[in-house]
Amino acid sequence: MRKIIQVLIGQVLVGVVLLSSSNAFAQPEVRTDGVLVCATAADAKNYAALHKDAIKSAIEGEKDAKSCLVVKVAFMPGKQTDRIEQNDATYVVTEIMIVAVKTPYGFLKMRPNLAYTLIRVNEEKA
């Protein structure tokens, strides 16, 4: 019986060491920003085509499109798909999970919702 208890305690200690050294408890990256929110990836690409070579100023100027809005939200970036190269920068169509919306009283948590956005990529030209 004593051997069984020692083995179990040993296994628990090994598990604790492994969990503390891994990223098991790492929090996902949550960004809070004014961001373009589109229902589909195609809508995000259409927004980029509509505001050709002025995507950054369109988003900063909060110019909405037919199926996209520029809003202040808290979101977690996810899978990236298409790259869109413009004169002002390069953007990547990115899947995001919206977790809160900015109100006059602060951020209001909400049920996570899937959306798409254009995230600017910092690239240096050769």
In a domain, 15, yes or no: no
18 token code pair: 């492994």
Rg of the Cα trace of the chain?
A: 21
How far is it, in rounded angstroms, from Cα 72 to Cα 77? Answer: 14
Do the Cβ atoms of 64 and 51 come closer than 8 Å? no
Residue 32 — pLDDT band, cuts 50, 70, 90?
confident
Query: What token pair was written down for 104?
Result: 């006059």
Residue 53 lies in a domain: yes
Asked, for residue 10, whether it belongs to a domain, the answer is no
* Within a domain: 38: yes
For residue 21, is it within any domain? no
Domain assignment present for residue 18? The answer is no
Cβ-proximal residues to 93 (8 Å cutoff; 6+ apart), any chain: 41, 44, 45, 48, 80, 81, 82, 83, 84, 116, 117, 118
Lowest mean pLDDT among 4-13, 61-70, 71-80: 4-13
Inform me whether the pLDDT recorded for 109 exceeds 70: yes
| Within-domain flag for 117 | yes
Q: Kindly state the average pLDDT of the residues 98-119.
A: 91
* Rounded Cα distance, 94 and 44, in Å: 9
The domain in which residue 107 lies consists of 27-121
In a domain, 88, yes or no: yes
Number of compact structural domains in the chain: 1
